[in-house]
């Protein structure tokens, strides 16, 4: 019983870290005009701070995970969250464009490694057969941040000073460091196993296929989410005030979807769960594109798309961990890089039809195409595995 309570506290510590990461990643989108005004730059220039953070995630995930592969997992998580706390606080002190740009890049470095290593640690802390639920607990911090932290941070940053929003992130980071220090048991990180027939390391083709699946499939969600504000105001006809409420609705959907996805990963295989989730996202994004002019339907779809999007998180993370045998932490961290590449590519691709004058509703259609490609990739990997398993069985029977 004592061990179980200790593990629950350790998972809570991971969730607090996830809350801080979710807060810093998304709150800047709400205070972007305030940051631009405060630094005397344009809003497109301020958008570089979002890209700098995402680039930090992509670079930092494999780099920091590989660098710390032989360290105690508890110590790694403490160092990562300490780094996160320092540079998010420095972001609040940024007085010019270059300082904040560098601070945002550096604050993004531990993001992917924390979630990647944290997912593996959560699986080890879980009871047998409950790994998916444990990973979902960690990701719940990120989803709850979208419901509570981001709206509060946006309000404070808009009505008082944008730098306070980053100080809030620093405060959450300190809380995460303290909780990991007090509640996380010592877990020895296993050194990567030498390459073998089972462990192909980064030469594993299936691993790279899954990472590409994450980038393309989740890009479907970000294609829609990046343009949610003009969809709510310009298409559905709501006032600016409704954008904040819509984002809370999407955040609530993410909270529910996160735990539904964990249950799906237990009922089906993780990859089947991913295929089902992305198929649902295709349908919802297409419906949203066709009916977005209705102000009430668009709000309902905002919640449902949030649900569908985050049913993917835990299953795809489990699929990556299962596939990257012997290099679980590295594979898991690289998947976080893939999420952020999906964020950047989804927003860019969805912006193309808008730039050519086709309207914001087409962003959802682009998202549906990307999610649909993700479904095809998931099914392709499933069929490949079945074919490979059948071939191995026939070969074994022949040799026998």
**What is the CATH T-level fold of the domain 1-188, as seen in this structure?**
Growth Hormone; Chain: A; (1.20.1250)
pLDDT score of 5: 65
Instruction: Tell me the per-residue pLDDT of 209-259, one tens digit each, with 9 for 90 and over.
Output: 999 999 999 999 988 988 888 888 889 998 878 888 888 898 999 999 999
| For range 161-175, the mean pLDDT | 95
Q: What average pLDDT is seen over the chain? A: 87
Quick: pLDDT tens for 324-364. Answer: 877 888 888 888 889 888 888 888 888 888 888 888 899 99
pLDDT for position 105? 95
Confidence class of residue 291 from pLDDT cuts 50, 70 and 90?
Answer: very high
Q: Tell me what pLDDT residue 6 has.
A: 66
pLDDT band at 196, cuts 50/70/90?
Answer: very low
Mean pLDDT of 144-172: 90
Range in 95-104, 122-131, 376-385 with the lowest mean pLDDT: 122-131
Kindly list the distances between the CA atom of residue 112 and the CA atoms of 53, 189, 202, 316, in Å, as whole numbers in the listed order: 11, 17, 17, 15
Q: Where are the domains of the chain?
A: 1-188, 197-400
Does this model's pTM top 0.85? My answer is no
Confidence (pLDDT) at 25: 87
76 confidence band (pLDDT: 50, 70, 90): very high
Residue 84's nearest CA partner among 102, 63, 104 is 104
Euclidean distance between CA atoms 209 and 98, whole angstroms? 36
pLDDT for 368: 96
Same CATH topology for 1-188 and 197-400: the answer is yes
Least confident of 88-102, 176-190, 279-293: 176-190
Q: CATH code for 197-400?
A: 1.20.1250.20
């Amino acid at each position: 019983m004592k061990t179980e309570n200790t593990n629950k506290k350790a998972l809570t510590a991971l969730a607090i870290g996830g809350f801080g990461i979710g807060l810093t990643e998304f709150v800047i989108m709400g205070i972007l005009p305030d940051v631009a005004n405060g630094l005397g730059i344009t809003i497109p220039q301020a958008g570089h701070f979002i890209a700098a953070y995402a680039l930090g995630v992509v670079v930092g995930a494999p780099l920091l995970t590989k660098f710390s592969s032989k360290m105690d997992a508890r110590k790694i998580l403490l160092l990562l969250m300490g780094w996160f706390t320092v540079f998010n606080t420095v972001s609040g002190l940024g007085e010019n464009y270059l300082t904040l740009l560098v601070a945002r890049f550096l604050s993004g470095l531990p993001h992917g490694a924390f979630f990647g290593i944290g997912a593996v640690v959560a699986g080890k802390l879980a009871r047998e057969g409950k790994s998916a639920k444990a990973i979902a607990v960690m990701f719940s911090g990120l989803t709850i941040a979208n419901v509570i932290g981001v709206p509060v941070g946006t309000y404070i940053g808009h009505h008082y000073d944008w730098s306070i929003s980053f100080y809030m992130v620093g405060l959450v980071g300190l809380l995460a460091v303290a909780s990991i220090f007090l509640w996380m048991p010592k877990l020895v990180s296993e050194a990567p196993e030498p390459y073998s027939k089972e462990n192909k390391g980064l030469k594993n083709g299936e691993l790279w296929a899954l990472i590409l699946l994450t980038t393309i499939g989740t890009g479907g969600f970000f294609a829609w989410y990046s343009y949610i504000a003009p969809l709510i105001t310009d298409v559905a006809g709501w006032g600016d005030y409704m954008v904040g409420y819509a984002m809370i609705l999407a955040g609530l959907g993410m909270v529910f979807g996160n735990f539904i996805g964990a249950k799906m990963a237990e009922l089906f295989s993780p990859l089947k769960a991913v295929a089902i989730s992305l198929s649902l996202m295709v349908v919802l994004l297409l419906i949203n594109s066709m009916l977005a002019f209705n102000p009430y339907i668009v709000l309902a779809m905002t919640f449902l798309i949030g649900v569908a999007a985050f049913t993917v998180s835990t299953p795809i993370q489990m699929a990556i961990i299962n596939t990257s045998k012997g290099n679980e932490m590295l594979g898991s961290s690289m998947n976080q890089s893939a999420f952020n590449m999906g964020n950047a590519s989804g927003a860019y691709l969805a912006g193309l039809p808008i730039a050519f004058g086709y309207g914001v509703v087409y962003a959802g259609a682009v998202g549906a195409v990307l999610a649909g490609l993700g479904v095809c990739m998931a099914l392709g990997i499933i069929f490949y595995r079945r074919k490979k398993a059948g071939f191995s069985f026939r070969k074994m029977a022949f040799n026998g």
